[in-house]
Amino acid sequence: MKDNWDNRKKESFVEYFHNQQTIESQSEGYNSKLEFGTAGIRGRLGLGEGRLNKFTIGKVALGIAKYLTDHAKSPSVVIYFDTRHLSYEFSNLIADVLATKNIKVYVTNTYRSTPELSFAVRHLKTTAGIMITASHNPKDYNGIKVYGSDGAQLDTESSIALSGYIDELGDPLKIDMECSIRKTEEYVHIISEEVKENYIKHVTNSVGIIPTSNLRVVFSSLHGTSVPIVPTILERLKFKSFSLVEEQCVPDPNFSSVDSANPEDYKAFDKAIEKAKNMQSGLLICTDPDADRVGIAEIDIDGNVYYYNGNEIGALLLNYQIKKTSHLNNRVMVQSIVTSELGKNIAKENNVLVKEVLTGFKFIAKEIRDLSPDDKFIFGYEESYGYLADPFVRDKDAIQIVPLIIKYASELKTTGRMLKDELNDIYKRVGKHNDKLFSQTFEGINGKTKIDKIMSEMRCNPPKSIAGLSVIRIEDYEKQERLESGSVTKINVPKANVLKIYFESGFIALRPSGTEPKIKLYVSLKSDNFERLADEISNSIFKI
């Protein structure tokens, strides 16, 4: 399928800000300041130092340039961008700034996905990578992710150091951002199609043969970067029983056909369901705009729709990877600390070593990097719909997962089974786990203060019970301490602003976002009254 990117009218910065109807007053952008966090920088497009525009992006680019020239002899960078407003323009601006500082830059003339960026860094052996994306955020957001030479997002120490370089530049309006056309021509290079082809080859080799069955698949890119590359991969794997949600498989920075371009939101599947019911299809798949997250749903023979949450998808994929690697010894899986106990129980049942890390796929990437030669990584995931089966990429990769989950479903289909049958079998073996995520947004200047107050109250006054559940243990990853039975012990984890509270029936975790004015509450419990109990916990903590 040919995309229509070439026909898209490229935007100038002036045109965008003239035409954009902002959600809040422009004064907000002048009363706040964007900060480069541990996951990069992400925020609304707009005017002022608190918004993304050519001045704030230029400042970040110059900070990156200074950081790289201080830390590498002959630095090189690959820059990819997604389908969002001004992603293409930001990519060009950053490339020009880096080139002016004598840094070799590889760019693309069309949109690409985040996992492709991670692969390109490794394939080209560049010093760093830059991805212009705001992932699954609303249409008026954009952002920058910075990657190290291993294809993983910068580790915490490097992110803090880079942030210092950016901050010391001061007011972005006072920075001289004049770029040299000669330097751009000398140092900026269009990336070869061979890199994309090599990535596709890695995916197809990893997945192998998809068995023939009567499985039908409906796929949507939610206006993002996974089309045309996913259809190309499926065709090369000789799987043709898929249909695209055509109106959602074109690049559109306004995400016009969906309220939220996020596969975590079940409403994102509405048009896929509509198409699937007309075609009696079984498996529905959606990826987010930069194609690092993937969601799935199934329709049974009676027309009932089952939506899978991130923990369930992770458990299914882990279960499949364990089956595929039964001949291997010293198998390892990695998951984040806010991910359900379900995956851990599956791993333990099959003698697979479990490693838990802080939220953020860079920590999973570090575990992969630090494995001994005898260890065999088989799967890594986060509950937020991010998965990695084959580590030729070092970030979550929806593109490699799409054909893998199709292969799994097709194998099941040959015996008259569905993914939900497989999940029910898992629950029978290790017990059913219920999971829910609450995300509270506190906009404006006082938003961060509200979030800090919630975390401070929980730390200063550790609860003995929440919603009738007795607390048995609290882990504070910022203090690197565990409180249990009245005694405090140290825990060997990197510092992070996360609290994890355990009960007999499971756990909850509180984690403020590093890039957005949000605080997330993760609830993972075994309970017959889970929905009511989860709501009570949320109301108690957020004082709703």
Residue 542 makes CB contacts below 8 A (sequence gap 6+) with: 438, 440, 454, 521
Is 307 in contact with 435 (CB distance < 8 Å)? no
Which tokens hold the place of 466?
A: 């929440």
Which tokens hold the place of 435?
A: 């999971």
Asked, as a colleague might, if the bond just before 115 is cis with ω within 30 of 0, I would say: no
Q: Which of 11, 70, 56 is nearest to 177 (CA)?
A: 56
Is 65 in contact with 186 (CB distance < 8 Å)? no
Q: Is residue 135 among the annotated active site residues?
A: yes
Q: Which of 473, 403, 396 is nearest to 152 (CA)?
A: 396
Q: Which of 95, 87, 121 is nearest to 186 (CA)?
A: 95
- Residue 52's SS3 state is strand
CA distance 317 to 315: 6
CA distance 446 to 25: 16
CA distance 356 to 249: 35
Q: Within 13 Å, how many C-alpha atoms sit on residue 390's CB side?
A: 20
- Residue 501's SS3 state is strand
Question: What is the SS3 assignment for 351-378?
Answer: CCEEEEECCCHHHHHHHHHHCCCCCEEE
CA distance 71 to 448: 33
Number of neighbouring beta carbons within 10 Å of residue 492: 5
Query: Could you give the C-alpha distances from 384 to 104, 136, 313, 338, 340, in angstroms and in order?
Result: 34, 11, 10, 9, 11
Catalytic residue among 118, 135, 384, 538: 135
Query: Could you give the C-alpha distances from 389 to 125, 128, 313, 320, 399, in angstroms and in order?
Result: 22, 23, 13, 10, 11
- Catalytic residue set: 135
